């Protein structure tokens, strides 16, 4: 049977890095769906389109030609054949991704691609609507979160390590705004699926979080 693991959670809950490691330990691929919304956010900004302009954003999404491939160093994301992996992590693209992901037609298209990819191979998929919409029949469903201040602290540290010196308050504020937008949009807002297991990593180390999730997966697979 196809092994599909679904992980949802808010901004900077550690989904990407934790998902990478869990997928590696399980020997399956990890699809980072946020990268696909980020690719659209980047294209919209590059075109000079206002992310609030739903009609234009939807048109851009239809012609986006977004694709992903998995390499030794993780997922690479492409827009019309161009590798945009290194360009989609800026704060501007983060906010644009959050804005363009509010539109129903955008979500429909992204979900279609994600479901197609997950049907082809065993995969761990992380995002905001994976447990609820993309993979409602996943083998294991997890809602990974942490306290808001702790998530902001992790994001601030991550940025600092990359040489981006941003005041903590600014990082916290941007995170709050994105949380607010992701949780209150009318279409598929971020919420915990009733059957998703809650993992709160506020007081857990990286390794402890990975072990907790692997244990949940084991229980769901064999328990
Ligand atoms: O996970 P990441 O922070 O990279 O996602 C960027 C944005 O894309 C999120 O703020 C969210 O608005 C959107 N997103 C989404 N559904 C997903 C993954 C991401 O709406 N499955």
Are 111 and 192 within 8 A, CB to CB? no
Give residue-wise pLDDT tens across range 88-134. 999 899 999 999 999 999 999 999 999 999 999 999 999 999 999 99
Q: What confidence score (pLDDT) does residue 123 get?
A: 97
Give residue-wise pLDDT tens across range 34-78. 999 999 999 999 999 999 999 999 999 999 999 999 998 899 999
Task: Indicate which atom in ligand 1 lies nearest the CA of residue 178.
Answer: 10
Give residue-wise pLDDT tens across range 147-172. 999 999 999 999 899 898 999 999 99
Are 214 and 3 within 8 A, CB to CB? no
C-alpha to C-alpha distance for 28 and 47, rounded to whole angstroms = 35
The DSSP annotation for 76-109 comes to EEEETTEE-GGGS-SHHHHHHHHHHTT-HHHHHH
Domain boundaries in the chain? 4-222
- 99 C-beta closer than 6 A to ligand 1: no
Q: What confidence score (pLDDT) does residue 1 get?
A: 82
Cross-strand bridge partners of residue 66:
79
Enter the pTM of the model: 0.93
Q: How far is the CA of 223 from the centre of ligand 1 (A)?
A: 31
| CA nearest ligand 1 atom 1, residue | 34
CATH code for the part of the protein at 4-222: 3.40.50.300
């Amino acid at each position: 049977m196809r092994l599909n693991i679904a992980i949802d959670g808010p901004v900077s809950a550690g989904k990407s890095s934790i998902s990478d490691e869990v997928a590696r330990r399980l020997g399956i691929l990890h699809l980072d769906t946020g990268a696909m919304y980020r690719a659209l956010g980047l294209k919209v900004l590059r075109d000079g389109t206002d992310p609030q302009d739903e009609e234009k954003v939807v048109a851009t999404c239809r012609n986006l030609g977004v694709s992903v491939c998995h390499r030794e160093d993780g997922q690479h994301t492409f827009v019309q054949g161009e590798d945009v992996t290194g360009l989609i992590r800026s704060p501007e693209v983060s906010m644009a991704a959050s804005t363009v992901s509010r539109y129903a037609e955008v979500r429909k298209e992204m979900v279609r691609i994600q479901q197609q990819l997950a049907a082809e191979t065993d995969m761990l998929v992380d995002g905001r609507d994976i447990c609820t919409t993309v993979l409602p029949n996943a083998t294991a469903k997890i809602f990974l979160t942490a306290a808001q201040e702790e998530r902001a602290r992790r994001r601030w540290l991550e940025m600092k390590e990359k040489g981006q010196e941003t005041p903590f308050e600014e990082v916290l504020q941007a995170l709050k705004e994105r949380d607010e937008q992701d949780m209150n949009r009318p279409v598929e807002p971020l919420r915990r699926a009733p059957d998703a297991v809650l993992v709160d990593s506020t007081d857990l180390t990286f390794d402890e979080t990975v072990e907790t999730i692997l244990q949940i997966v084991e229980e769901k697979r064999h328990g």
